[in-house]
Structure 1
């Protein structure tokens, strides 16, 4: 079965409707075209159905708001809980560690690029269950990156692409730890 024949999720339909609405606000679609395409997007069954609705629109380029830079010299950087994730994160830390927890974050993009520039610190990235991460673009002089999650993109789940370097630190990518509660 080709990827175009795979069934879509509600999130996939929502992303396509947002893209169509954005194209309308830019003047690329008329009101009638928008209404027709929205109806088809909301009833789409496969990726091919959704792709047919947006192939004549330009690819979305990240805006300035879609790139966030986080920087620390001595302290640790941590993002967790309910936080808005941009398309691209540039993170630099000279002596501290970095923890990016995506498990409860609001992620509206299918792919998030994380660029790490670490000197003495390490980074930990926690993905929501089912998320995937490609760490092939991250290099450390001290250790190899460790990833306990799949690296191949999958439709409908978060895909994080990690690039950058660390001189003396490392990188760990994993899912959230399971919490066991006594009754």
Structure 2
């Protein structure tokens, strides 16, 4: 008599684990969980072998909001956003040849963390962030000139976190805080 294979739950993938870690980090950054809770839940997520254990680690988090991602792309020309415009959770900016100017100082920012992903060929980029914003760089590659950024004295709790990543070809990224 041949026995049937055991009905084992499928193992989780690295993508599932990475998504869980990202959600836990965002929940901590948004103030939904304490540092101690994040440490415990990260350990649980990183050692989980099945989806059930991973779901249990994330069960105390608020429901994930649907992703809001927008892409602004031009081949040649200028990309400019200023004044009262609504900033999505994730903003992708793609330009082969041209200038980019994003002014977030008067923008409507509904998310505590904003991800800006730059894919720029040549040309410069300038980003103006709110006075109380915290700016972080994640995997930002510059092929020619270094990024210019001077942290604000007024950055701190309460302001949005602006995470900037991507690649800059032959241009310079300049980030400054709004004066008002």
Whole-Å Cα distance in 2 between the matches of residues 62 and 76 of structure 1?
31
Question: Does 1:63 pair with 2:57?
Answer: no
Q: Conserved in 2, the CA contact under 8 Å of 1:90 and 1:114?
A: yes
Question: Does 1:109 pair with 2:111?
Answer: yes
1:20-169 paired onto structure 2 within 5 Å: 51=33, 56-61=59-64, 63-64=66-67, 66-149=68-151, 154-169=156-171
The change in CA–CA distance for 1:154 and 1:176 in structure 2 (over 3 A counts) is closer
Whole-Å Cα distance in 2 between the matches of residues 109 and 102 of structure 1?
13
Structure 1 position 132, deviation (Å): 1.5
Q: Tell me the number of residue pairs that the alignment of Structure 1 and Structure 2 aligns.
A: 127
Superposed CA RMSD = 2.7
Structure 1 position 101, deviation (Å): 0.6
Structure with greater Cα Rg = 2
Greater shift after overlay, 136-145 or 72-81?
A: 136-145
TM-score (normalizing by structure 1): 0.61
Structure 1 runs not aligned, ≥5 long: 1-46, 179-183
Decide which structure has greater strand share.
2
